[in-house]
Structure 1
Amino acid sequence: MDKTGDLYQSYLSILHDELVPAMGCTEPISIAYGAAKAREVLGELPIQSNIEVSGNIIKNVKSVTVPNTNGLKGIEASLAAGVVAGKAAAKLEVLSQVTAAEKTAIADYLSSYPIEVTLAGNEKIFYISILLHGCHSKVRLVIEDYHTNITLIEKDGEVVYQSQSNGNNPYDRNDRTLLNVQDIVEFSSIVDISAVEGIILWQIALNTTISQEGLTGDWGASIGKVLLKEYGGHITNLAKAAAAAGSDARMNGCELPVVIVSGSGNQGMTASLPVIEYAKELRSSDEELIRALVVSNLVTIHQKTGIGRLSAFCGVVSAGCGAGAGIAFLHGGDYESIAHTIVNSLAMISGMVCDGAKSSCAAKIAEAVDAGILGFKMSKNGKQFVDGDGLVSKDVDNTISNIGRMASVGMKETDKEILKIMVGGLSS
């Protein structure tokens, strides 16, 4: 790969686009961001709000705690937090500067002003439409396809801002379909460390900090702590516990930020924390860890490209597989070893469904990381699943494509049934 070529620059840009900080689960934060921006345009506190969202937004906001709200959950709380205290300029850290007084004001707003939630009547996977009514004006704002992609702002019926939605493509800059495993391994091996160390070191610092909070505090079901108590300090368990603990804290309202991958903090922690633990065990150099995390992040993004931002397919499966690839790289694995690790991992755990963001995500993360590590250990021992074993095809990228098709096309009806079970009473 030519370091001066377009492909190299595209891979760099993809990493910089994807690895960004966020505080709180990204779907409620997206609502808060949209609400904060809409209120900014409105110029006054709205006295009534209407929000129309796609099913996957409902699923991922319903049960997760919104940070800096004193434990509030749900779509209404997300919107109220953005309206009352959000700082739109901070984007996915929109609720990072909420004061104690504003936390009380959020609860007061919820009890004083009506917020109506409806299911969107379109086929969009990721869709948020917010309508704020003030005493003098009204503002409508639409977010589509990914968390900060505002496509429309109207004030009193006049268009203030409009952009072209990306349709089914959830990405705004580089074409992620150019990603492939062989190029990912080559890029990770040759990339100038100075070009990536800033974002990777940021990922290490933020994600490690929230993981430690999950292991020391009392968050959710404490999956990370349970893993350590019951299964001890073997490196495989440490890797699982570290990632799970970050989710324990994040899904239950911890106000610490994380660096996300593919629009997800859970995926960002799953792709990074197990690799960080293995680097400690192996006494890897800083450069070796950074390069391994480039592998893990890009493999995760590659898998998610065919699946989309939101799906009935649990995204941490992709990230656990990415972590396995990063761990293989840390052990000196070449393209073949990493490809076998990915295929093995996907063959094991690609049936895990997403039933929304909540405490049990931490347990799913532990299972995904376990599959990633087992996939690596199989490869290390010369064992692999082969073409014809279920969804496995010849060539790792074909297998990844198969999983993407199954998740994005085959699981559409599964997604609908999950939503009906979770929130059956909500109508479009």
Structure 2
Amino acid sequence: MPSAPASPSTARAINDRLALRLLQDEGPLTAAELKRLTGLSRPTVADLVERLQDAGLVRIVGESGAERRGPNARVYGLVADRAHLAALDVRLRGVTVTVTDLLGAPLAEAAAPIGGDTETGPAVERAAALLERTVREAGATRLHTVGIGAPGLVDPATGALRDSAGLPAWHRRLVTALRERLSATVLVENETNLAATAELREGAARDRDTFVLLWLGHGVGAAVVLDGALRRGASGGAGEIGFLPVPGTGALPSATDCAGGFHALAGSAAVRELAQAYGIEAGGPDDEGEPAGASAVRAARERPVCWDGTRAAADPADGGPTGGGPADGGPTGDGPADRCRAYRRVGDGPGDAAGAFLDALAERVALGAAAVTAVLDPGCVVLGGELGHAGGAALAERVEARLATLSPLRTEVRASTLGGAAVLRGALLTARDAAQDELFGGPPATAH
């Protein structure tokens, strides 16, 4: 039985919503451009523009430069300061905050470390105060929605951050505290899921609607996107790949400890140990700043070596190589100095310790990817997090090649384009979507 036609009020709401989305995606538009993009009549467009102006959602931002007789056409844009948004990336040892306008344009950003020995109350206060201070610095007087990315499980029924072994208590308390002291809507989501959202919308998976993101940072995790939607699982635990039993760890994980699982192979500390076995050092302790495993991968990929496989100083001024790769003619003589006139980046070819390290790391990562591929057949795996980003194409290509030997299912492996920044970006996108849904009046639909 055919559905009944939409009522006039419903049709107006649908058209308004469509126009608002176009103004967001395409930027400021004239009424004529809105007419062309929506397919609506000129009177209908004129009515919706007037309604949106009266609602304080749209305003005139200029005039078009069209060359014609008579006055130029007015250009309409969204009122970006109608609402403000905030996003938080909550990690084990600190918090990063960004505040933006309704369109996501950044207004202020800040970060603060929170030591592992900080008690729950002071840790919560420090994080909450950082957010409030950043909001003031941004001049954000209308904070509408706050998106929070945090490690751990988020209950799909209640939206609450669940108690997870190994995570500090201040994470859960922070979400509660912000909901108590802010008038804004506070949303929380697992950090890996948010990273996948960002990679889907703006990163390595923009052309995919089905993929799995493997998060490789201090810890490991996965996010599952099927047909453009995140799949969280019955308890919010889909993607807890750190607990995946894999060969090579010498133990099995337990309900409270993932030390014997995939985490023991691909977590930052394990990757750092692997790098050291190949003579590659990472700077800084693993609980501060960039994960040490990611630093090791970056150090391996960026340090140049001679084409004969011997080490070379990174800077020609220090006696290092001064030439290019094979396209530049390769080595030009038989002496040590001649051999180093042409060089390649470590890991770009066989015969050096860093390349062997990346091969060994790819072997480990492929074990987790193979398990996910065998169950979900996503067709694409994105290596996310700081370590996946640092590995770039050199690591992704190795993982894809190894994965092809472990599974008959053809799977493309890509490196993240956003890295660790994906969590904060995903939290902001989530906050922006929620705020716009409320302010714009529901999901978009076809024009009437």
TM range (shorter): under 0.3
More helix, by proportion = 1
Q: TM-score, normalised by structure 1?
A: 0.22
